[in-house]
Amino acid sequence: MTQSQSDISIQIDHLFRHEHGKLIAVLTKAFGTPNIDLAEDVVQEAMIEALNKWTYNGVPENPVGWIYKVAKYKAVNILNKEKYKRRYASEVAHHLQSEWTRESALKQIFTDKEIADDQLRMIFTCCHPILSTDSQVALTLKTLCGFSIPEIAQAFLTSESNINKRLVRARKTIKEANLPFEVPSGKELEPRLSSVLETLYLLFNEGYNSISDDNLIRLELCEEAIRLTEIIVQNPTITSSNTHALLALMLFNTARFGSRMDELNNNISLEHQDRSQWDQQLIKKGLVHLEFAAGQNEVSMYHILATISAQHCTASTYQDTDWEGILELYDLLLKLDNSPIIQLNRAIVLSKTSDPQTAITQLEQIKDEDTFQSYLPYYTSLAELYFQNNQSSEAVSLLKMALELPIGEKRKSLIYKKIEGFSKNI
């Protein structure tokens, strides 16, 4: 491949990432939710045509407009060709099939406002509670974020076959249920929005705490979760205190990305991060959303987690962190979610306000929890506490147990380095 072809391929890939979700959303409205797969096919064909034609003719002045134009008329051709073969539940499809109303219909559905509204409808469709959590995440990544099946499989450490099955199952469920392409209203909105936020939070966490072997932190996943959450926040008819709190949490955590990895791609603990690398604009933006959320007379898991993250982001140094305040927030969080993971995080904070032995005692009491049997942070955190408590042998033993977990080579490499460091004190 020549350099120019390579550049074109990169540009199309970038375009695909940023415009894929918008086009899928618009075409799903045109074809109806039972035909999401058809919308995906049209977008894929438009991108392939761009790659083929731009390679020989060069990239047009308005590449986005070019892609949209091709996608529009591919959709119209399909509607005309298959008007008797496939049932389209969409009123838009009817107008696109008529030569008299086609142009006005195309102009209407491709306005900026309609595209934004359709993305919102697509979010609620992908995150419908009729779908399993795994299917919701896979469908969101595929349709709204433009991730390929191999990329989704890599992010979740599973096979491409499994991801493909989830997508097929999700589309079949949507088709059989004939889900409406809409944002719910009234009493249906709150539980549906809750489901959407849970999916976006899961998506963000997969990026932020990724165990994918190619990269310990998947910034792209986090950026997509933020982008989709911002779409919800920007719609005044459905946004909520929880949405603002979740967005604040995402922004605070993303602000610290630049200092979490060293030049060798090794993870840097919060204590040793260079705070001058933290993105202050994201932190300020997060504080604005947290302030809005705090003023709505509501407290949720997202509010507390965002406030904890804000405490870290606004502390001038690690030593200046308000650990007592953070411990109080974890105590409050436990009343909402008494999960082993929250207890683990609280114990780590407890070691700062008390001593490592107190935290170790707390964690030893819950060591038999099923969650921790294959949860790497439990082993590494407890090992760190043992080391701080001058129990290096116990720390090394735990890290050796961690090596038996199903983790990637990069994670293992980091653990070996810790073992080497801890062993010097035995």
Tens digits of residue pLDDT in 35-49: 888 888 888 888 888
Tens digits of residue pLDDT in 268-288: 888 889 999 999 999 999 999
The yes-or-no verdict on residue 260 having pLDDT over 60 is yes
Q: What is the mean pLDDT of the chain?
A: 85
Give dist(CA 116, CA 111) in Å, integer. 9
Output 103 or 259, whichever has higher pLDDT: 259
Per-residue pLDDT at 90: 56
Per-residue pLDDT at 326: 97
**Confidence bin at 109 (pLDDT 50/70/90):** low
- Which residues partner with 261 through β-bridges? 267
Per-residue pLDDT at 3: 47
Give dist(CA 265, CA 278) in Å, integer. 17
Per-residue pLDDT at 74: 84
Output 9 or 169, whichever has higher pLDDT: 169
- CA distance between the termini of the chain: 55
Per-residue pLDDT at 111: 67
The yes-or-no verdict on residue 256 having pLDDT over 80 is yes
Tens digits of residue pLDDT in 170-204: 999 998 998 888 888 888 888 899 999 999 998 89
**Confidence bin at 372 (pLDDT 50/70/90):** confident
Give dist(CA 227, CA 25) in Å, integer. 15
Section 122-133 average pLDDT: 91
Give dist(CA 272, CA 135) in Å, integer. 38
Of the listed ranges 29-38, 72-81, 208-217, 238-247, the least confidently predicted one is 208-217
The yes-or-no verdict on residue 258 having pLDDT over 90 is no
Residue pair 134/14 in contact by the 8 Å Cβ criterion: no
Highest mean pLDDT out of 112-116, 219-223, 400-404 = 400-404
Residue pair 290/307 in contact by the 8 Å Cβ criterion: yes
Tens digits of residue pLDDT in 221-240: 888 899 999 999 998 888 78
Give dist(CA 242, CA 335) in Å, integer. 17
The yes-or-no verdict on residue 1 having pLDDT over 50 is no
- The backbone torsions φ and ψ at residue 261, rounded to the nearest 5 degrees and listed phi first, read -130, 140
Output 86 or 160, whichever has higher pLDDT: 160
Tens digits of residue pLDDT in 385-396: 999 999 999 999
**Confidence bin at 98 (pLDDT 50/70/90):** low
What counts of helices (H) and strands (E) characterise the chain? 20, 0
Section 7-12 average pLDDT: 73
Section 209-230 average pLDDT: 75
Give dist(CA 426, CA 422) in Å, integer. 7
Indicate the SS3 state at residue 279.
coil
Per-residue pLDDT at 284: 98
Output 28 or 96, whichever has higher pLDDT: 28
